Amino acid sequence: MPHLLRTALGTLVVAAALGVAGCTSADRDVAGPSPSPTQTGDASTEASPTTSPSPDADGAPRPFGAITPDTIRSAPNTVVFDGGLAVEQNSLAARAAERLTADGRDDAARAAELIAERPVALWLGDGHDDAALVDEITDYLVAAELQDATPVFVTYAVPDRDCGNYSAGGLAADDYSAWNQLVADTLRGHRAVVIVEPDSLGMLTRCPDLADERLPLIRQSVAAFADAGVPAYLDGGNSNWVPPREMAERLEQAGIDRARGFYTNVASFYPVDDERAYAERVSELTDDSRYVIDVSRNGQGWRGTWCNPEGAGLGQDPHVTGGSKGLDAFLWVKTPGISDGTCNGGPPAGEWWPSFAEGLVERRRE
């Protein structure tokens, strides 16, 4: 069956279930935590996207949605990220580049274009109605399937998001469960990876009273994605936040036994060596869970604050790794170039900040 037809049929199935969910959207900003130094990285490269499916050993095209609930944890990372990482054509960076070009701001436009050319995760938040949410997800699935690559999505609508900080918001608990189920149903049968609720587990250190409600919600989310055959990664904080054993306990309570694994360093700036050492310890404590690391802005290491730090630079280009130890991929989860919040002269969280984007590009890790 042609890929686009398969996508259309999947969307019709999901559309029939639209009455079950609450509202949603793309806030696309994350708050992050605390400090650390320099960086090295895995030099592995991702598979190059093509316009047709890659064949199995017998020459037949690999099907989309080949991951099952039973293989989510055990599948090779090249299957989880089949075809490499997809690039969103209508990303925040791409739209910023168009605006800046129209305004004659050539240097700022070039910085946005460089970011737009690379795979960046698509954030889904709490600002659209159900139909708009399905449209947003489906548009990216179609584009990714044309690239024969895997799109990465981020859910960001958990109740009491960010503990009321710069990215405060989120849905009510009942609405969140239905919203998350709609996301899972829309992704069912397609290649996709989900980064589940950045900071949701790390922030429990700051807001422990949320744990009784939040942990079951995250566990329910993981189950929905697992049942849909969608590999999910849970919040693993970063190397300078929650101790590995304590984070492992939270991950277990949040249902990591049914997830692909966890992620670290989302929206933060810590070097890869620190993150890998920390993540390997958490992996050992969670039955060898796999993990991914956000390298979107860690090219210059820790700069003294998590919020719009001066001197930050882009990290290495996002790519699927050689799969050594527990590491699946280096990703750009946080969108480089958007503000962390109204700190250090920045605009509100989630808005494009041209001068900050230029600085990230100028100081990028080569």
Q: What is the pLDDT of residue 365?
A: 84
Q: Which residues pair with 125 in a beta bridge?
A: 25
How many Cα atoms are found within 13 Å in the side-chain-facing hemisphere of 13? 13
Per-residue pLDDT of 241-285, as tens digits, reads 999 999 999 999 999 999 999 999 999 999 999 999 999 999 999
Catalytic residue status for 212 = no
Domain at 3-362: CATH code: 3.20.20.40
Q: Identify whether 273 is a catalytic site residue.
A: no
Residue 65: the pLDDT is 65
Known active-site residue 162 = yes
* Largest distance between two CA atoms of the chain: 57
Give the pLDDT confidence score for residue 177 in this predicted structure: 96
Query: Would you list the domain boundaries of the chain?
Result: 3-362
User: Rounded CA gap, 294 and 270, in Å?
Assistant: 9
Strands 290-294 and 232-235 come out as: unpaired
Tell me which H or E stretch contains 261: strand 261-264
Summarised one tens digit per residue, pLDDT across range 283-317 is 999 999 999 999 999 999 999 999 999 999 999 99
Q: What is the pLDDT of residue 162?
A: 87
Q: What letters, b where the CB count within 10 A reaches 16 and e where it falls short, cover 59-95?
A: eeeeebbebeeeebbebebbebbbbbbbbbeebbbbe
Q: What is the pLDDT of residue 63?
A: 59
- Work out the end-to-end distance of the chain between its first and last CA atoms, rounded to an integer number of angstroms: 42
Instruction: Return d(Cα 337, Cα 340) in angstroms, integer.
Output: 9
Of the candidates 160, 185, 199, 328, the residue annotated as catalytic is: 199
Query: Out of 162, 185, 274, 294, which one is annotated catalytic?
Result: 162
Regions of the chain where pLDDT drops below 70: 1-65
